[in-house]
Structure 1
Amino acid sequence: MAHERQKIYRWESGRAVPGPSAQKAMAVLHDIPTHLLQTLPWPDWLATACKRAKGTPPYGDQAATVELLTDLAVGGPVDRREFLIMTSATLGASITGWQDALASLTSPSSTGRRQITASMVDHLEVRLDRLRHLDDALGSAQLRELGMAEFAFIVGLVKEARFDEPTGRRLYAAAAEAARCCAWVHFDDGYHAQAERFFDAALRASATAGDPLIGAYALSFRAIQHYTAGDPRDAVALVEAAQVQTKNKATARFRAMLATRAARSHSKAGDRRACARALHQARDLLSAGPHDDDPPYLYWVDLGEIEMIAGSSALQLGDPREAIRRFDAAIDANYAGDDQYPRTHAIYLARAADAHLALRDLDQAVAVAEHAVRCLGGVDSARSSATLEGLRDNLAEHRHVPVIRDFLDFTA
């Protein structure tokens, strides 16, 4: 994956030229006429993408938002896996559009025939909560179709809706969260370009809802995509934008979540001090305890999660001993990994195994790796599988050791 990120950097800087298929995929992502690929050299034609991003309808344009949501709902998932995410310039235009829309907030209007009531939105929110928990347990591959169906159902209501203002805002917030769920399962299953489209839709719907929290929540997950498959500096920018928009609106737990995302983004960018500051802030904020206004989608934010992120960050920054201490601290904090979050726990366990491997503790590395494999028994996630495959590659360097050879043969 690091090799792929380096390739993207070289493309964007003009030091390397992507192949015809990659250029065509980028043109499709940015809705650029393919004839520009023949008439303009790389990367000159890519500037058109930025111009188009700046010239798209404002994020506060409700009709444009409904049209975009509808297009995504009827389009369905792509049939191919693409390593392709937005450039920094296009991503910046997306962030700015969202911020501008929130600054000039207007009330959502409705001209439909179907009356949408507050109790109906209650049911939508319950369905979304169940979708989130199913994704935790089963993984993205099994949830993409269900997520798309839920998204399409909510978009259908949005198109036909008649509502009062409070109900309308909640309905668009539900559409934003459904879009974020779709973005997440597409990213987790390796569909990066489609994930970007859903993340952008989530921002637009949150702007119409006048809900900066649900938009910031989407940005926090979008940051994961960008520090995983793109430029970690873009991930930092995404989290910072979320923090700015929610500074005086979010609960301590919400701000702790954003601080944790910031820490991981900084670790990916190699900024040790910024990472440490963000982790300290996250722990301090979480110590304030729960609040009645905590959004229900923050159910997973606890000390165990923060320590798991701290462990991952320490490993990223080249400190395997600190990584193991943080992973152990997460377990001591009763991190509910195996039962509630098997996919995420498998990823953390794989990183812990890498930390033990870096310290030449081969027996413990294998023991933790076996635990990770057990976690993934009922989960179908391309991201988790790729993490374990990377661990297997690292272990393969020690194949001459019997315990490692046995593990590699068993999991082949």
Structure 2
Amino acid sequence: MAMSGAALRHFIRQALATIADPPILRRADRPVAPGIVALVETRARTLQEMLFVLDPAPLLSVARTDLDLTTMVLTDNGFDPVTGTRLYLAASEIAGLCGTIHAGLGEVALAEGYYLGAIRAAASAGAVQQALTALANLALDHSDAGDPGEALTLLEAARVLAPYPTREMAAVLHTRAAHSHARLNDITASTHAMDQAASALEQPSTQESNQLGNVDEEWLSRHMGNIWLELGQPKRALEHFASSLTGLSSGHSTQPPLLSARSLLSAVDAYLALGEIDAAAHSTHQAVTLFHRMPPGLTRQYRQRLHPHRAVPAVLEVLERLVEAI
């Protein structure tokens, strides 16, 4: 990762200090038109919704362009404090989406830069919930990159920022912690964090959390599958994947296709660990059908998993489909 150790800790301290005492976002020159601000906010919301219906690669291209546009509006125009806050929030949302797509494609180093930008923008706006989301995603990014200790440092900062998060955010933070502990091979801490995540989602909802609308039982089952896989228990992981992917088979999934494809990739890992090659090929078929054209990053990862088993007819068939999807 580009930022770790002392640099990461310094960044966290700065972000927490900025959120606690956000700057007055005011520029006097060339006030931005109200219609432009509303357009930027609408685009930010629409991009989040498009993750559920568009292939991630073209969506990422659009989101990057919109982030550049929003940054230009902030740089080249004046604004009062309310307008400045609105623009920084939109920038944080779009940057966070870019990070989510890169992470979903397995590009954690690229995701990191966008998550850092999302945290900076949220901090400038004094937006606690937006900063929490980006911190939690950056923590998972570090854990996936082999830095679980750094991930736990980020999660500690998130708890300082919000001692009493919404139930959805509490579930996210506990799940991220469980993943990091699994990477550290601490099964006791990991299972305890998973229990805490499940308990959090069982609580009545007291606050609206628009950013985390897809954090539900399906979301939790998929992440628990990933965590059990990290703990070296593929059979138990598949129990969670089977439960969470039921909605995908029935066409009633609450998760974006990109996240479903990542879960299916983990299911492939679990099947291969158990020697169930045909089942791994079937899960890959499911992933291919999620997209008009599977993103190259995902295609590469599926091919890497299956290539050693290309002598199996079912695997050879799906590998040919993956070639066509590039």
Fold-level similarity (TM above 0.5): yes
Alignment match of 1:156 (pick from 66, 69, 72): 72
Within a 5 Å distance, the mapping from 1:125-164 to structure 2 comes to: 125-159=41-75, 160-163=77-80
Give the whole-Å Cα distance in 1 for the aligned partners of 2:46 and 2:192. 34
Contact in 1 for aligned 2:182/2:230 (Cα 8 Å): yes
Partner of 1:367: 282
Deviations 1:131-174 (A, max 9, x none): 123234444432333112211222233231322x3443232222
Shift of 1:339: 8.3
Give the whole-Å Cα distance in 2 for the aligned partners of 1:191 and 1:108. 33
Contact in 2 for aligned 1:142/1:380 (Cα 8 Å): no
Cα separation, partners in 2 of 1:310 and 1:191, compared to 1, 3 Å: closer
Give the whole-Å Cα distance in 2 for the aligned partners of 1:271 and 1:116. 53
Partner of 1:329: 243
Give the whole-Å Cα distance in 2 for the aligned partners of 1:378 and 1:277. 39
Deviations 1:6-60 (A, max 9, x none): xxxxxxxxxxxxxxxxxxxxxxxxxxxxxxxxxxxxxxxxxxxxxxxxxxxxxxx
SS of residue paired to 2:26: coil
Contact in 1 for aligned 2:98/2:114 (Cα 8 Å): yes
Give the whole-Å Cα distance in 1 for the aligned partners of 2:294 and 2:205. 30
**Unaligned residue ranges in structure 1 (runs of 5+):** 1-83
SS of residue paired to 2:245: helix
In the alignment of these two chains, the number of paired residues is 321
TM-score by length of 1: 0.69
Partner of 1:356: 271
Within a 5 Å distance, the mapping from 1:28-67 to structure 2 comes to: none
Cα separation, partners in 2 of 1:230 and 1:361, compared to 1, 3 Å: closer
TM-score by length of 2: 0.85
Give the whole-Å Cα distance in 2 for the aligned partners of 1:235 and 1:386. 26
Partner of 2:90: 174
Shift of 1:303: 0.7
Partner of 1:70: none
Give the whole-Å Cα distance in 2 for the aligned partners of 1:126 and 1:381. 29
Shift of 1:375: 2.3
Alignment match of 2:167 (pick from 252, 255, 259): 252
Cα separation, partners in 2 of 1:150 and 1:376, compared to 1, 3 Å: same
Larger radius of gyration: 1
Deviations 1:94-118 (A, max 9, x none): 112111222334432232322555x
Contact in 2 for aligned 1:129/1:297 (Cα 8 Å): no
Give the whole-Å Cα distance in 2 for the aligned partners of 1:326 and 1:332. 10
Give the whole-Å Cα distance in 1 for the aligned partners of 2:7 and 2:132. 18
Give the whole-Å Cα distance in 1 for the aligned partners of 2:141 and 2:45. 22
Alignment match of 2:3 (pick from 86, 101, 124): 86
Partner of 1:236: 152
Partner of 2:211: 297
Percent identity, aligned pairs only, is 28
Partner of 1:265: 180
Q: CA RMSD in A?
A: 2.9
